[in-house]
């Protein structure tokens, strides 16, 4: 079982530094660089870094990177993740490259690597977005295999627990044990909770940007619900002249403010990544008003100079940064409330 605290104690990434720190690092202007949401990003970054340090393309790095997380059965993303209310795991993902090519899938079932399917949508169809049965059919036509139906051991247990009350209160990503366990049991025995997404953005040695985002969405969501993660402009946005941003948290609200696109546009106006993320989280706060305390949302960004930053609504968001000096570190995002 993935346990954040244990992971922090035992992880050996083979990279030279690894720390959880209170400071939000900005700019060293490094390239290549890869950053990703949450602490699962440390493992994902490591795979991305192998590509980046060998002068590989950012697009390959962000695809291979998040596949590590999709593979982690009993983790937060992919087929091992929490199901919807009806007991089915449905997956969403998107990817975007330096030429503004993009591909998305949503409500995809029984396919192990939705991020790879999203890339195939981008490269092998004239479309951007395929959903549900059609997305699955397309995946099969591209050689993907249908995985067995069913839940991972932990998801099964968590779902059974949830069924006892079947409360539908889609509040996600608040780092507060009491609030969290009140509406949906978390699978982690240290009280860490159901953030079910990894978003990754990278700049390669050639200075090109790409991004990816993959999720099982909100645990115990309504069947058919899709959040921000596969939506270009909301969950992810890349503009190779400016920068890239990726979001996590309450998808409905990130969609409302066009989160990732807004961050990139602010960077275009000259805002540093952290300041751009902060401004967008402030917009969210304004939109949500008093209800903001019930949700979490966070955005991470890098700009064309390899500067990076993040901001979140509430305390408890962290993100993983791997830079050219071979450091893979975990940073706390600054919070607004």
Residues with active-site annotation:
197
Closer of 56 and 235 to ligand ASP (Cβ): 235
Stretch that binds ligand ASP, among 132-140, 146-154, 180-188, 195-203 (CB under 6 A): 195-203
The closest of 244, 302, 248 to 272, measured between CA atoms, is 302
The answer to whether residue 90 forms part of the interface with ligand ASP (CB under 6 A) is: no
DSSP 146: P
How far apart are alpha carbons 58 and 45 in whole angstroms?
12
Stretch that binds ligand ASP, among 17-25, 108-116, 148-156, 224-232 (CB under 6 A): 224-232
Closer of 91 and 130 to ligand ASP (Cβ): 91
How far apart are alpha carbons 108 and 288 in whole angstroms?
30
The answer to whether residue 227 forms part of the interface with ligand ASP (CB under 6 A) is: yes
Phi-psi group of 74: left, alpha or beta (phi > 0 → left; psi -120 to 50 → alpha; rest → beta): left
CB of 234 to ligand ASP, least distance (A): 9
Contact criterion met (CB below 8 Å) for 112 and 143: no
The answer to whether residue 229 forms part of the interface with ligand ASP (CB under 6 A) is: yes
User: CA 337 → CA 253, 276, 281, 286, 296, distances in Å?
Assistant: 16, 17, 10, 12, 10
The answer to whether residue 228 forms part of the interface with ligand ASP (CB under 6 A) is: yes
The answer to whether residue 187 forms part of the interface with ligand ASP (CB under 6 A) is: no
CB of 208 to ligand ASP, least distance (A): 26
DSSP states of 50-66 as a string?
HHHHTT--HHHHHHHHH
Rg over CA atoms, the chain: 18
CB of 251 to ligand ASP, least distance (A): 2
Stretch that binds ligand ASP, among 22-30, 152-160, 221-229, 273-281 (CB under 6 A): 221-229
- CA dihedral (166, 168, 172, 174) positive or negative: negative
Please select the residue that binds ligand ASP; options are 41, 80, 103, 217, rule is CB under 6 A: 217
The answer to whether residue 66 forms part of the interface with ligand ASP (CB under 6 A) is: no
Q: What stretches of 216-289 show up as alpha helix (H) in DSSP?
A: 251-256, 259-268, 273-288
Please select the residue that binds ligand ASP; options are 39, 60, 84, 196, rule is CB under 6 A: 196
Closer of 173 and 186 to ligand ASP (Cβ): 173
Residue 33: strand pairing partners: 203, 323
Closer of 139 and 226 to ligand ASP (Cβ): 226
DSSP 328: E
How far apart are alpha carbons 214 and 92 in whole angstroms?
6
Query: Residues binding ligand ASP: what is the number (CB under 6 A)?
Result: 14
The closest of 112, 122, 116, 106 to 238, measured between CA atoms, is 122
The answer to whether residue 323 forms part of the interface with ligand ASP (CB under 6 A) is: no
The answer to whether residue 83 forms part of the interface with ligand ASP (CB under 6 A) is: no
The site string for ligand ASP over 35-54 (x = CB under 6 A, - otherwise) reads: --------------------
The answer to whether residue 251 forms part of the interface with ligand ASP (CB under 6 A) is: yes
Stretch that binds ligand ASP, among 9-17, 59-67, 151-159, 193-201 (CB under 6 A): 193-201
Contact criterion met (CB below 8 Å) for 288 and 303: no
For residue 292, how far is the Cα from the chain centroid? Answer: 20
Contact criterion met (CB below 8 Å) for 152 and 74: yes
CB of 36 to ligand ASP, least distance (A): 12
Interface residues with ligand ASP (CB under 6 A) are: 172-173, 195-197, 215, 217-218, 227-229, 248-249, 251
């Amino acid at each position: 079982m993935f346990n954040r605290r244990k992971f922090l104690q035992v992880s050996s990434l083979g990279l030279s530094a690894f720390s959880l720190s209170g400071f939000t690092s900005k700019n060293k202007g490094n390239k290549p660089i890869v950053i990703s949401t949450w602490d699962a990003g440390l493992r994902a970054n490591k795979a991305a870094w192998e590509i980046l340090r060998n002068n590989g393309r950012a697009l390959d790095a962000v695809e291979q990177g998040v596949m590590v997380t999709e593979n982690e059965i009993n983790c937060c993303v992919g087929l091992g993740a929490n199901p919807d209310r009806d007991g089915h795991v449905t997956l969403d993902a998107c990817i975007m490259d330096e030429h503004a090519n993009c591909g998305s899938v949503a409500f995809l079932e029984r396919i192990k690597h939705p991020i790879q399917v999203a890339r195939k949508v981008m490269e092998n169809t004239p479309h951007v977005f395929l959903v549900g049965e059609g997305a699955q059919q397309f995946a099969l036509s591209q050689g993907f295999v249908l995985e067995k139906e069913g839940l991972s051991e932990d998801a099964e247990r968590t779902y059974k627990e949830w069924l006892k009350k079947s409360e539908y209160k889609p509040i996600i990503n608040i780092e507060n044990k009491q609030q969290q366990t009140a509406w949906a049991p978390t699978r982690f025995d240290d009280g860490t909770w159901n953030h079910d997404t990894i978003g990754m953005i990278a700049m390669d040695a050639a200075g090109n940007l790409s991004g990816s985002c993959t999720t099982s969405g909100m645990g115990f969501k309504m069947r058919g619900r899709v959040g921000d993660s596969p939506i270009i402009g909301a969950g992810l946005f890349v503009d190779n002249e400016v920068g890239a941003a990726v979001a996590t948290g309450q998808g409905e609200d990130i969609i409302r403010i066009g989160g990732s696109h807004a961050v990139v546009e602010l960077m275009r106006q000259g805002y540093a990544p952290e300041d751009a993320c902060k401004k967008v989280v402030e917009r969210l706060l304004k939109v949500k008003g008093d209800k903001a305390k019930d949700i979490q949302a966070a955005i991470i960004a890098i700009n064309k100079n390899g500067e990076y930053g993040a901001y979140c609504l509430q305390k408890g968001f962290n993100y993983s940064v791997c830079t050219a000096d071979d450091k893979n570190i975990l940073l706390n995002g600054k919070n607004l409330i």
